[in-house]
Amino acid sequence: MGESKKRKRHRNKRGGKEEQPVLPSPCAKRTKLKEPSSFLQKMRARLSGGHFRMINEKLYTCTGEEALDYFKEEPSLFDVYHTGYKTQMSNWPEQPVNVIIKWLKKQSLSFVVADFGCGEALIAKSVKNEVFSLDLVSNDPNVIACNMENTPLDSSSVDVAIFCLSLMGTNYQSYLEESYRLLKPGGWLLIAEVKSRFDPNTGGADPKKFSNAISELGFSSVKQDFSNKMFILFFFTKKENQISKRKEIEWPMLKPCLYKRR
């Protein structure tokens, strides 16, 4: 019985040996099975977003000391948090830090500034004033790593204290007490916070009670700016020769700003 045409096609004419069928190269196989880059990017974004939400919730529901210990155990999580933070902020029509920078540029260049929870220290990079950038972790030699309730700065040494979306701990009042210690009499306290944290209808704090508590600490309320859709700006100045009665102040609980999974 003669060989089939298929077998003849694979027979070597010189040696009479059967040729092996040609298989795709390993590279070709990998190319065929490679996932689309857009899919991989989406998966990485989901993983990164999940880590950010986890860290964000932790920071809103623990004390400053606990947050400091948390990042000491795993400093890389700080970078994960700020990457996610930048992604969230990119969706905002206006950044509160830019509003604060514009305000600072209209003030005296002699003003010394303390930026509590500075993140990437954008304020220090944007103004000519002397700025002490404070945060829990520092990957920048110009950022002071510390617990914001106990900074290494001297009393009555700064003219402006700033909290830009950084009143995150359950003991946030201790950060404000520290700002009171650092500020000179007549110095400015600027607070920018997410608007939803001050909506009493959804469990947020009453902005009036929040402002009154800070006034009892030893500040005068100058202005509250509700014009932005995403955040509120509070402006205070430190009273002259004020002796604050901290133990008697009733501090409202600020609603945590937790992001939903998209």
pLDDT digits (tens, 9 = 90+) for 54-97: 888 878 888 888 888 888 888 777 788 878 888 878 888 999 99
Same domain, 124 and 202: yes
Cα distance between residue 3 and residue 156, in whole Å: 101
How large a percentage of the chain has pLDDT more than 90? 50
Same domain, 144 and 203: yes
Same domain, 52 and 161: no
Q: Residue 147 in contact with residue 193, Cβ under 8 Å?
A: no
Residue where one domain finishes, among candidates 88, 113, 139: 88
pLDDT of residue 156 exceeding 90: yes
| Predicted confidence (pLDDT) per residue in 128-148, tens digit | 999 999 999 888 999 999 999
Please tell me which residue, 75 or 4, carries the higher pLDDT value: 75
Indicate yes or no: pTM above 0.75. yes
Same domain, 205 and 242: yes
CATH of the domain at 179: 3.40.50.150
State the pLDDT at residue 30. Answer: 47
State the pLDDT at residue 64. Answer: 83
Cα distance between residue 60 and residue 170, in whole Å: 7
State which residues form the domain around 47: 29-88
Q: Is the dihedral of CA 25, 29, 30, 34 positive or negative?
A: positive
Work out how many domains the chain is built from and give that number: 2
Same domain, 188 and 102: yes
Same domain, 122 and 188: yes
Cα distance between residue 171 and residue 116, in whole Å: 14
The pair of three-digit structure tokens given for residue 223, joined into one six-digit string: 């202005």
Helix (H, G, I), strand (E, B) or coil at 56: helix
CATH of the domain at 50: 1.10.10.2150
Q: Residue 254 in contact with residue 205, Cβ under 8 Å?
A: yes
Give the bridge partners for 143, in sequence order: 133
pLDDT of residue 40 exceeding 50: no
Of 93, 102, 95, the closest CA to residue 119 belongs to 95
How large a percentage of the chain has pLDDT more than 70? 76
